[in-house]
Amino acid sequence: MTAPAPAPATAPTRGPLLPRDRARHPRPLHPDYKSSVLRAPALPPVAMPSTLSEETGPVFGHGLIGPRDNNLVLNFTGRPAIGPRILVWGRVLDGSGRPVPGVLVEIWQANAGGRYRHPNDGYAAPLDPDFGGCGRTLTAADGVYEFLTVRPGPYPWPNGPNDWRPAHIHVSVFGSGFGQRLITQMYFEGDPLIPRCPIVRTIADPRAVETLVAPLDMSRAIPMDALAYRFDIVLRGRRQTMFETRMEGL
Amino acid sequence: MVRAPDELAETPSQTAGPYVHIGLTPAFIGIAGPYPGDLGRSPVRDGARGERIAVTGRVIDGLGTALRDAVLESWQADAAGLYPGNDPRGPADPGVTGWARLAADGATGLFRLETVKPGRVPFPDGRPMAPHILLWVVARGINIGLATRMYFDDEAEANAACPVLARIAPLERVQTLLARRTAPGEYRFDIVLQGPGETVFFDA
């Protein structure tokens, strides 16, 4: 009896990228999201195989990241921000299901009242003097990232006559190739505003929307401290090379 | 497209929204608390080899208005055509990081990239692509980041032989990818999101 060969530990960092499945992504033009009307290209993108330009990408060293960068509760002033404390964590994987280590994950969000620390946000809810709203980290060897933050509030926005954004956290992630670059939004399990949101509804496939909804994860909740939500992120995969296939079959 | 049965589907994109600066360029909007400074302020360090260039431009919507909230990222090879990081052909110029973040100016919409002119990089079949810089644009109303390439109008011979530019039809649309040289070392490159003169975007 032969033991199954262990899969390569981490996602490949070289080789051609698999094409994007555009049907899982939002439509560029979605008139219910009014800002897309003048900003969506009218013509389809030119499809081509990836080249070294897309297959390579920037590398970020640990020296860039400070010890509090992934702690949004404390990283603005050192005094704790107001709101329900939550741990947001997950793994960054590529299409092969293998972890992507050492990549930069950045998040930004509104405070617990639904207000952003941004010159263009004039919502009535007050700023929290102790909340900036941004965090960043590098994924660990097993692709795991985590942030301690406060649960952001929902907020109204000028689109339809009475549109509200569900509570969400913006997430920006790098892969090993610039062609894997992705920005998305994480939502919270059970939020009734999710199916009503015109931005969520730019994604036609309800199964794709489900992957943006982070479930409560009591296995990582910190007793007497913070609830936890899990959000795994899958980047575009790379085509298996002959070399890798042989390695896996040995 | 059809995926291999064991291939996981990519996480869907969502717009970066109007407050993207908080996450990507917090210092640009005056959030000084968490970090010493914004990432990607320059794609080159002192001592980078090659011709110093600067590119100025705007991102323009379907009515001809410049976006004042766009954030761009650039990615490029060094002057010898090698990428920093994980290029399988070998190490690049240590003076080149290759990556920058560019926030459009809140009043004028102008962005500016100061860098070195990249060298030629091979297409998968080995033919050289013309010198180019990848640009990726996000903003409110852009549901999935838009990837384009900036080429140079003073590289006519290399452009004519570039296997990527050769894929573009009609051929006139190649013009939307050419940065115009306005002075020695100075280029202008506007990105038109929609309508007449719409920039070519890539799915690569």
pLDDT in tens, A66-97: 999 999 999 999 999 999 999 999 999 999 99
Q: Are B200 and B168 in contact (CB under 8 A)?
A: yes
Which of the four pLDDT bands, split at 50, 70 and 90, describes residue A41? very high
Which of the four pLDDT bands, split at 50, 70 and 90, describes residue B6? confident
Pick the catalytic residue from A151, A168, A236, A238: A168
**Closest to B18 in 3D by CA, of A110, A125, A200:** A110
DSSP 8-state assignment for residue B1: -
Whether B11 sits inside 8 A of A182 (CB atoms) is yes
Pick the catalytic residue from A30, A33, A151, A155: A155
Is residue A229 annotated as a catalytic residue, yes or no? Answer: no
What are the structural domains, with CATH classification, of chain A? 26-39+60-249 (2.60.130.10)
Query: Nearest CA of chain A to the CA of B172: how many Å?
Result: 14
Whether B149 sits inside 8 A of A108 (CB atoms) is no
Residues of A in contact with B204 (CB under 8 A): 17, 47-51, 53-54, 179
Pick the catalytic residue from A24, A170, A196, A220: A170
User: Per-residue pLDDT averaged across B189-203, rounded?
Assistant: 98
User: Per-residue pLDDT averaged across A174-191, rounded?
Assistant: 98
**CA-CA distance, B71 to A140, in Å (whole number)?**
27
**Closest to A176 in 3D by CA, of A11, A50, A18, A21:** A11
Q: Are A154 and A193 in contact (CB under 8 A)?
A: yes
Q: Are A17 and A55 in contact (CB under 8 A)?
A: yes
pLDDT in tens, B50-88: 999 999 999 999 999 999 999 999 999 999 999 999 999
SS3 B122: strand
Interface mutation target, options B13, B82, B146, chain A, most CBs of A under 10 Å: B13
* Confidence (pLDDT) at A247: 44
Give me the residues of A, 42-101, that contact B with CB < 8 A.
42-54, 56-60, 64, 66, 68-69, 75-77, 93-97
pLDDT in tens, A91-114: 999 999 999 999 999 999 999 999
Q: Are B42 and B114 in contact (CB under 8 A)?
A: yes
**A248/A214: higher pLDDT:** A214
Which of A3-7, A136-140, A143-147, B81-85 is least confident? A3-7
* Confidence (pLDDT) at A217: 98
**Closest to B62 in 3D by CA, of A13, A242, A43:** A43
User: Per-residue pLDDT averaged across A125-136, rounded?
Assistant: 98
Query: Nearest CA of chain B to the CA of A35: how many Å?
Result: 4
Whether A209 sits inside 8 A of B144 (CB atoms) is no
Is A241 at the interface with chain B, CB within 8 A? no
* Confidence (pLDDT) at A62: 85
Residue B1: is its pLDDT beyond 90? Answer: no
Query: Nearest CA of chain B to the CA of A219: how many Å?
Result: 23
Whether B9 sits inside 8 A of A21 (CB atoms) is yes
User: Per-residue pLDDT averaged across B184-201, rounded?
Assistant: 98
Residues of A in contact with B67 (CB under 8 A): 39
* Confidence (pLDDT) at A245: 44
Share the mean pLDDT of chain B: 96
**CA-CA distance, A187 to A185, in Å (whole number)?**
7
What are the structural domains, with CATH classification, of chain B? 20-192 (2.60.130.10)
Which of the four pLDDT bands, split at 50, 70 and 90, describes residue A9? confident
Is residue A238 annotated as a catalytic residue, yes or no? Answer: no
Helical residues (DSSP H) of chain A, grouped into ranges? 52-55, 206-210, 242-249
User: Per-residue pLDDT averaged across A147-176, rounded?
Assistant: 98
User: Per-residue pLDDT averaged across B190-199, rounded?
Assistant: 98
| Dihedral Cα B147, B153, B157, B163, nearest 10 deg | 10
Residue B5: is its pLDDT beyond 70? Answer: no
pLDDT in tens, B26-49: 999 999 989 999 999 999 999 999
Is residue A168 annotated as a catalytic residue, yes or no? Answer: yes
List the structure tokens of A36. 């897309």
Angstrom distances, CA of residue A63 to CA of A37, A66, A147: 41, 8, 18
Residue A132: is its pLDDT beyond 90? Answer: yes
Interface predicted TM-score (ipTM):
0.97
* Confidence (pLDDT) at A3: 64
**CA-CA distance, B29 to B42, in Å (whole number)?**
18
Interface mutation target, options A183, A205, A209, A239, chain B, most CBs of B under 10 Å: A183
Is A172 at the interface with chain B, CB within 8 A? yes
**B26 half-sphere exposure, CB direction, 13 A CA radius:** 24
Is residue A145 annotated as a catalytic residue, yes or no? Answer: no
Q: Which residues sit opposite A171 in a β-bridge?
A: A107, A184
* Position A216, amino acid: L
Which of the four pLDDT bands, split at 50, 70 and 90, describes residue A250? very low
Whether the CA torsion B11, A226, A167, A139 is positive or negative: it is negative
The residue of chain A with its CA nearest to that of B32 is A76
Interface mutation target, options A46, A50, A69, A73, chain B, most CBs of B under 10 Å: A46
pLDDT in tens, A49-63: 999 999 999 999 889
